[in-house]
Amino acid sequence: MKIDLTKVKTKDIDGKPIKYDEDSMPLHKHIANILYRKARNLDLVDIAMQINQGQAVEMSKADIAEMRSLINEQNGVFSFARKAVFEYLDKIEEAEKKKKKK
């Protein structure tokens, strides 16, 4: 599945988009760092480097499952960010299921 974490949009408690500036790390880079440091599957190291550069990546169901697990294990990923990433992944996985049914 094609995943582009730069497309994940986070919102504050009022539902307004969170904008990242030069003093804050964009979400896709934060997720890339988690994958790079913690991945059990070594294929995710290369994927993490691509994500860090803002590239869309091809990920298997197993890769996505491990990414979800690693994000859940990290205390540094705020719940609003986890929610945004998981909703994005759910949407991608649902679209993939619909494609296969056709």
pLDDT of residue 39: 94
Task: Give the domain range for residue 84.
Answer: 2-101
Q: Which amino acid is at 79?
A: S
pLDDT tens by residue, 68-78: 999 998 777 88
Nearest to 8 by CA among 100, 102, 89: 89
The total number of structural domains in the chain stands at 1
DSSP line for 62-98: HHHHHHHHHHHH-TTS-HHHHHHHHHHHHHHHHHHHH
pLDDT tens digit sequence for 17-41 = 988 777 788 999 999 999 999 999 9
> Which pLDDT score is estimated for 82?
92
Q: Residues with Cβ < 8 Å from 26, sequence gap 6 or more?
A: 6, 20
